Amino acid sequence: MYRSVNTRYLSEDYLLAVNNLLKKVHRNYVLPEELASELNIDPSETDGVISELVNNEYAYPDDDGRIELSEYGEERAEFYQRIKSSIARFLVDTLEIEPMEACRNAAMFKNILENKAVEAIMQYSDEHHLPELAEEELTFNGNIAFDDYLKETFYHYLDYIYITRISDDNPSEIVTVQSIIEQAYQNDKHHQPGLETALAVMQKRGLIEIAENGIISTTGEGTIRTNEFVKKHYYLTAFFKAALNLNELDAQEAAWRGKYMITEKAFAAVEEYLRKKGIKIELYGLQGLDDTASDV
């Protein structure tokens, strides 16, 4: 259901990084060390980046190791930059945030939003004739490896605990390792195989506790994180519905991954947007938060 940010989507960021560099250096090639600096990675890691660019036919190194974009790479770079620009302009227009803050979020959102949301945003930007942003803002490198972020934090597995806990079938259901595995399998089969390992890491990180009988409980820190991301999910869902006229499912899909990566400034602007629109958010099942309608 949800778009997976795999190496193909990261290669789009690599392509834009090369394209941005070409504009900065004013020549038709970039050097591996320049690319490493642009991506803020160790120079030893550029071989993997270049391999991704070559595998996707975006760019090719010459005999001296200089990286040049292919004609196809130039076309795709223009297309991906247009998506990023549309998202950034949409955020500036709806959330009234600074262009650089919008570009920072757009750089991440372009990899995680579903196609329907992206298409709706591009249509919104075109129909509202939103002004173009400055080149230095659009070339901001906000690349974040989303899958790597999730592998490091494991915050997304808190979703399964929350969803299981408020299940329509049994809202008071005790959460166990087995019920979480079943919930994960229903939502996204490819997450299921390594879930027990992920739960062990979450326990080590102090997000959950697992009893000998397999019952899972969230710690104070785990509850805080759960509340934070679930609240963002509700608010972002309402935002995408109101701003883009998306249906409930499409808005939820747009919000699901966006809640992990949206900056605090942008999310505060989402809250303000909904408050001005008079939209109330239902905060069900969040410990420590009001379970009734919330004015934002």
- CB–CB of 140/107 below 8 Å? yes
Residue 199 sits in the same domain as residue 131: no
Residue 193 sits in the same domain as residue 278: no
pLDDT for the residue numbered 289: 43
Structural domain span for residue 257: 222-295
Residue 203 sits in the same domain as residue 239: no
Domain boundary pick from 124, 144, 164: 144
Residue 78 sits in the same domain as residue 182: no
Residue 39 sits in the same domain as residue 87: yes
Residue 1 sits in the same domain as residue 114: yes
Backbone angles phi, psi at 218, to 5 degrees: -85, 145
Residue 111 sits in the same domain as residue 5: yes
Strands 216-218 and 280-282: unpaired
- Whether 20 is in a domain gets the answer yes
Residue 212 sits in the same domain as residue 226: no
Residue 210 sits in the same domain as residue 227: no
For residue 147, the number of C-alpha atoms closer than 13 Å in the C-beta half-sphere is 11
- Whether 120 is in a domain gets the answer yes
- Whether 149 is in a domain gets the answer no
pLDDT for the residue numbered 193: 54
pLDDT for the residue numbered 40: 81
SS3 label, residue 275: helix
Residue 168 sits in the same domain as residue 50: no
Q: How many structural domains are present in the chain?
A: 3
pLDDT for the residue numbered 12: 84
Which residues of the chain, if any, have pLDDT below 50?
1-8, 168, 171, 190, 287-293
Residue 18 sits in the same domain as residue 137: yes
Dihedral, CA of residue 86, residue 132, residue 102 and residue 251, to nearest 10: -20
Exposure string (b/e) for 129-152, b if CB count within 10 Å is 16 or more?
ebeebeeebbbbbbbbbbeeebee
